Amino acid sequence: MARNKDLTKNSLNLKPYQIILKPIVTEKGIHNSERRNVYSFEVNPLAGKKQIKEAVESLFDVKVLRVNVQNYKGKPKRTKNIVGTTKSWKKALVKLDSESRIDFF
């Protein structure tokens, strides 16, 4: 079966604000941002590394060196007789140039 060209990552025309959904602010994330200049974001699952890099550079006006992504699968949850799952999501770890900073607060 041929792959549908409309659903490929390269053909998506996502805006930067549609790619970067929200920053992930945790103790580990704050530690990484202060010491290693690495910031973590929840991103659109359809976005690729190049799209994430371009979105961060345009939204925050910084220089990105590297992007690592992690895909998280939804966990099964149950309430009484109702069985479901949490949503699957994608996390991006973005390493910035030593001269660049992002201030969330």
pLDDT at 1: 44
Boundaries of every domain in the chain: 15-96
d(CA 86, CA 8) in angstroms, rounded, equals 25
pLDDT at 92: 98
Average pLDDT value for residue range 69-75 = 97
Start-to-end Cα distance in the chain: 49
Among the listed residues 41, 37, 38, 35, the one whose alpha carbon sits nearest the alpha carbon of residue 17? 41
**CATH of the structural domain 15-96, one choice from 3.30.70.330, 1.20.1250.20, 2.60.40.10, 3.20.20.150:** 3.30.70.330
pLDDT at 11: 54
pLDDT at 42: 97
Indicate the range of 7-16, 60-69, 70-79 predicted with least confidence: 7-16
Average pLDDT value for residue range 34-40 = 96
